[in-house]
Amino acid sequence: MYPDARLKTECDPVELPLDDATRAIARDLLDTMDSFPGCVGIAAPQIGALVRIVAIDVSGHKKAVSDHGRRVLVNPVIVSRGAERVKMREGCLSIPDFTGNVTRAESIVVEAVGLDGAPQRLECDAYEARVVLHELDHLDGLLFLDRVQHARDVFPRKRYQ
């Protein structure tokens, strides 16, 4: 949780091939994601691991168009972004004080290594693209507050739900 300094730290790439320690972090990410109802994504620094791993799962979400299901992305890189940009109100487990309007690409292509060690290339759009971009920001020490452009785009909330 913010203000934990690990949330503001750039994470290190994972050394390949994957070792047991990395797989343990990935499992912990998935378990943590499962422990929060409705959680659609989580990044390693959110559980205190400063490595470039995120987990996403937008399965069945009503705003999802592309839906790659439950995925662990190791060393993910955005290789392209569509020109269209959309504003959406985001919240985050790690900064429960606020929600905020953030403009992000509507579609992206992300390349990563999967939990099985195989390269993956995901074409994501709409809600899934938003989740991936939000989680990848965590790997660079960026919270959605760093993407907001105006105080009027931020809304305090009483507690995370």
Partner 1 sequence: MNQFAIAAMGTDRPGIVAAVGEAILGVGGNIDDSSMTILGGHFAMLLVVQVEGDADQLESTLRPVAEKFELMLEVRTAAMHPFSDVDRDDYVVAAYGPDKPGLVSTISRVLAGADANINDFGSRLGADHTFAMWFNVSLAEGTDTAALGEQLRAEGRDLGLDIRLYRAEVEDL
Instruction: Provide the annotated active-site residues.
Output: 135
Binding test (CB under 8 A) with partner 1, winner from 39, 93, 96, 140: 96
- In the complex with partner 1, the residue whose CB is nearer, 28 or 97, is 97
Interface with partner 1, residue 159, by CB under 8 A = yes
Binding test (CB under 8 A) with partner 1, winner from 14, 49, 73, 95: 95
Interface with partner 1, residue 127, by CB under 8 A = no
Binding test (CB under 8 A) with partner 1, winner from 65, 81, 88, 97: 97
CA distance 127 to 7: 23
Q: Judged by CB under 8 A, which stretch of 26-34, 39-47, 51-59, 92-100 contacts partner 1?
A: 92-100
Report yes or no: 88 and 101 within 8 Å, Cβ to Cβ: yes
Chain residues that interact with partner 1, rule: CB under 8 A: 2-3, 8, 85, 95-98, 103, 142, 145-146, 148-152, 154-159
